Amino acid sequence: MSMSCAYADEVDAFKCGSSESIPCNLKNIFNQILIPYPEKCFAAFQACRTEEEPDGSQPIFFLKKYKELAWHDRGLAVAITFKENNKNYVVSVNSDSSIVLNQCELPQDIPGMQSEIIFYQKVFREEHPNSFRFESSLKQNFYLGFSADDYNKKLVLKHLPGDNLDETIMFTFV
């Protein structure tokens, strides 16, 4: 399934912060690492083979920072990417609010005040300064997370209004 990276044209814009991408793997509260399945167009949390970092055979995600032209306090604008089989993928919000892995190159500039590939990285809570949450720029109060009822722990977009945060949207970096 091939999808394009299209963006709405609005007044504000996101500009690529630097050429550097920050390598990381994302873990949930169960110490499971996020693994992408681009051929099936989803990502899911799974137990690591060892207690240490992934063994190198597992894909590594990258955070790409973007600067915004308008000031606000929504968080650090980032895109979450990975590379597999020499193809670049971006974690995106689909029109039906599902999370998909789009094969595309990251743009240097994204016109508009929101994008399906931009998430706002924020500290999860003050008492968890090394844990983060990622809010969709496209849908306010919608966060990357997983369903507690889902045995497969697929990456989803969860609606959590206000300060009603739960640990299913809490991420740590490996």
Q: Is the pLDDT of residue 6 over 50?
A: no
Calpha distance 28→134 (Å, rounded): 12
Question: Which DSSP category does 106 fall into?
Answer: P
Choosing among 2.40.160.20, 3.40.50.2300, 3.40.190.10, 2.80.10.50, the CATH entry for 13-173 is 2.80.10.50
DSSP letter for 52, please.
Answer: S
Better pLDDT: 35 or 18: 35
Instruction: Determine the pLDDT at residue 113.
Output: 82
Confidence of residue 19 (pLDDT cuts 50, 70, 90): low
- Reply yes or no on whether the pLDDT at 54 is more than 70: no
CB atoms within 10 A of CB 5: 17
Tens of pLDDT, residue by residue over 122-131, are 999 888 889 9
**pLDDT tier at 135 (50, 70, 90 boundaries)?**
very high
Give residue-wise pLDDT tens across range 85-104.
899 999 999 989 999 999 99
Nearest-angstrom CA–CA distance, 123 and 118: 16
Residue 150 has pLDDT above 90, yes or no: no
Q: What confidence tier does 121 reach under pLDDT thresholds 50, 70, 90?
A: very high
- Whether residue 5 is predicted with pLDDT greater than 70 in this model: the reply is no
pLDDT value, residue 110: 87
Question: Which has more confidence, 77 or 70?
Answer: 77
Mean pLDDT of the chain: 83
| Phi-psi category of residue 85: left, alpha or beta, with phi > 0 → left and psi -120 to 50 → alpha | left
